[in-house]
Amino acid sequence: MSRSFSNIPLAETCLANLAAIGYETMTPIQAESLPEILKQKDLIVQAKTGSGKTAAFGLGILAKLDPTVCRVQALVLCPTHELAEQVSTELRRLARFLPNIKILTLCGGVPMQGQLSSLEHGAHIVVGTPGRIQKHVRKGSLPLSALTTLVLDEGDRLLDMGFYDTIIAIADAAPAHRQTLLFSATFPERITEMSAAVQKQAVRIAADTEHCDKSIRQLFYTVAHPERNQALYALLAHYQPESTVIFCNTRQTCKDVTEFLRHKGYSAAGLQGDMEQAQRTLLFTQFANRSISILVATDVASRGLDIESLAAVINYELSPDPEVHVHRIGRTGRAGKEGLALSLCLDSQEYLIRRIEECQKRPVTRAALASLTPRPGTLAPPMVTFALNGGKRDKIRPGEILGLLTGDVGLAGNQVGKITIFDSIAYVAIAREAAATFKQWLPNGKLKGRVFKAV
């Protein structure tokens, strides 16, 4: 693929400006995505930070912009104020070849008034954070009737910051006939969900990704069907991951595997799709605060499980769908840490391995079960969870719980783990070695009239 900008249908003045700002050749993600962007397709573009995604959508926006119409034709949503400023700066540089293009940055945390008067003067492009943009859309100060391009930049971070519903609401307020471009450095499952909600027949493009190779160590172990439990045990004893999700294809297998692991002394919990929400929330909380170290789940049941760093994913059974396989293992190795993906496969599943290789465009690495050696170590997770029967509704704050535990109860600060507060319940993780001290205190202790109990 040619990397020269001049092979792309861009205006001569635009090309001259690119040369002037020192953009000689396209970056790989620009070369892959720009032709499709100019064809007005909806795209999901995945590439690591610093790969030039802003210019990819920026040039697309400018190519179809009508400078004579001073109405908002493009809207770019960014997760933070700082990123919105960066995007605006880059867009202004790219737009120098067009006369009098107005680009407005609209973010929260500043008074509405100044933004309202800027909007009254009109703008061609608006860049902003979802919350504030939605506020303007609701108020009617940001009309979207002339919008032709909607860009969701840093899609993974927009989701991490809880903007899903806000984004859907903004997209719903925009004309249905538009181009929607979604950019992201990583590709969590929920990106697909967001894409389905706001895009049409989106094409996925990836280049320069931070995926598999670098951040996930993936190994396949061939095993005979009756020996799968023993193999799983050998994997856990050898690698001793701090947190593991084990995938099975059926609920019954999940139950069997959970039972086997508990019998072996592990703190494992099965995650069922039909579980009550409160029960799921408790399990997710315990897993995230390190008081359960293994979750056993089917693909359906694992939906919504979104943890910052997962030490390992183990496929007790391979998924029949290679894309599902890639999703499963994508859960480990986040937050800059190397992940570990271990898969058990049967002799009869060679065809599945070939499909996985095709899907990930890379041969898989095999390892032998015989190479595993159990290491001494403790099976108990480092923390224990306690529940307080009060939460946000009772104005319970993390600082108060921490203050009580390090004050009245007499724990050291580093013996108190994650504190998670919901509407009417709160959970706190306490170091296993300190749990007994806390239990002794429990019968007499209260916080704002609420009591703690072990879960």
Part of the chain binding ligand ADP (CB under 6 A), chosen from 47-55, 157-165, 397-405, 432-440:
47-55
CB of 309 to Mg ion, least distance (A): 23
Choose the one of ligand ADP, Mg ion, none that binds residue 77, judging by a C-beta under 5 to 8 angstroms depending on kind.
none
CB of 87 to Mg ion, least distance (A): 7
Residue 188's binding partner among Mg ion, ligand ADP, none (Cβ under 5 to 8 angstroms by kind) is none
Q: How far is the CB of 54 from Mg ion (least distance, A)?
A: 5
Residues forming a β-bridge with 245: 295, 313
- 52 touches, from ligand ADP, Mg ion, none (C-beta below 5 to 8 Å by class): ligand ADP
Binder of residue 26, out of ligand ADP, Mg ion, none (CB less than 5 to 8 A by kind): ligand ADP
Q: Does residue 325 interact with Mg ion by CB under 5 A?
A: no
- Quote the least distance from Cβ 26 to ligand ADP, whole Å: 5
Smaller CB separation from ligand ADP, 30 or 343: 30
- Among 50, 376, 399, 413, interactor with ligand ADP by CB under 6 A: 50
Q: Which of ligand ADP, Mg ion, none sits in contact with 289, Cβ below 5 to 8 A by type?
A: none
**Distance between CA atoms of residues 175 and 146, nearest Å:** 8
State how far the Cα of 56 lies from the Cα of 74, in Å rounded to an integer: 14
Residues β-bridged to residue 129: none
In the complex with Mg ion, which residue's Cβ is closer, 48 or 262?
48
CB of residue 188 to Mg ion, shortest distance in Å: 17
Give the integer Cα–Cα distance in Å for 52 and 35.
Answer: 15
Q: Considering beta carbons, is residue 49 or 279 the nearer one to ligand ADP?
A: 49
Measured distance CA(194)–CA(453) in Å, rounded: 39
Select from 17, 37, 45, 53 the one that contacts ligand ADP (CB under 6 A).
Answer: 53
**CA separation for the pair 293, 280 (Å, rounded):** 15
Taking CB within 5 to 8 Å according to partner kind, which of Mg ion, ligand ADP, none is near residue 23? ligand ADP
Segment contacting ligand ADP by CB under 6 A, of 45-53, 108-116, 166-174, 378-386: 45-53
Q: In whole angstroms, how close is the CB of 74 to Mg ion at the nearest point?
A: 15
Question: 374-382: which pairs have CB atoms within 8 A and are 24 or more residues apart?
Answer: 374/234, 374/237, 374/238, 375/237, 375/238, 375/240, 377/240, 379/264, 379/265, 379/266, 379/267, 380/267, 380/432, 381/267, 381/290, 381/291, 381/292, 381/293, 381/432, 382/290, 382/291, 382/431, 382/432
- We find the least distance from the C-beta atom of residue 48 to ligand ADP, in angstroms, to be 7
- Look at residue 51 and give the partner it binds from Mg ion, ligand ADP, none, a contact being a CB closer than 5 to 8 Å depending on partner kind: ligand ADP
CB atoms closer than 10 angstroms to residue 17: 19
Piece of the chain touching Mg ion by CB under 5 A; list 34-42, 49-57, 170-178, 184-192: 49-57
Tell me the two tokens of residue 352. 């599945």
Long-range contacts of 254-262 (CB under 8 A, 24+ apart): 254/296, 254/297, 254/298, 254/301, 257/229, 257/232, 257/296, 257/316, 258/296, 260/229, 260/232, 260/233, 261/232, 261/233, 261/236, 261/294, 261/296
Q: Which of 43, 55, 74, 150 binds ligand ADP (CB under 6 A)?
A: 55
Among 27, 44, 53, 105, indicate the residue that binds Mg ion (CB under 5 A): 53
Residue among 52 and 188 whose Cβ is closer to ligand ADP: 52
Measured from the CB atom, is 5 or 266 closer to ligand ADP?
5
Nearest approach in angstroms of CB 249 to ligand ADP is 37
| Cβ neighbours of 275 (radius 10 Å) | 14
Question: Which positions from 14 through 43 interact with ligand ADP, judged by CB under 6 A?
Answer: 23, 26-27, 30
CB atoms within 10 A of CB 285: 22
Contacts 24+ apart (CB under 8 A), 429-436: 429/289, 429/290, 429/291, 429/383, 429/384, 429/385, 430/383, 430/384, 430/385, 430/386, 430/405, 431/382, 431/383, 431/384, 432/380, 432/381, 432/382, 432/383, 432/384, 435/384
Q: Measure the CA dihedral 250/253/259/260, to 10°.
A: -150
Size of the site for ligand ADP (CB under 6 A): 13
- Which residues ranging from 80 to 119 are in contact with ligand ADP (CB under 6 A)? 90
> Which token pair is 122?
């009109």
Stretch that binds ligand ADP, among 48-56, 258-266, 273-281, 391-399 (CB under 6 A): 48-56
Residue 49 contacts ligand ADP per CB under 6 A: yes
Give yes or no for residue 54 binding ligand ADP (CB under 6 A): yes
Site residues for Mg ion per CB under 5 A: 53
Site residues for ligand ADP per CB under 6 A: 23, 26-27, 30, 47, 49-55, 90
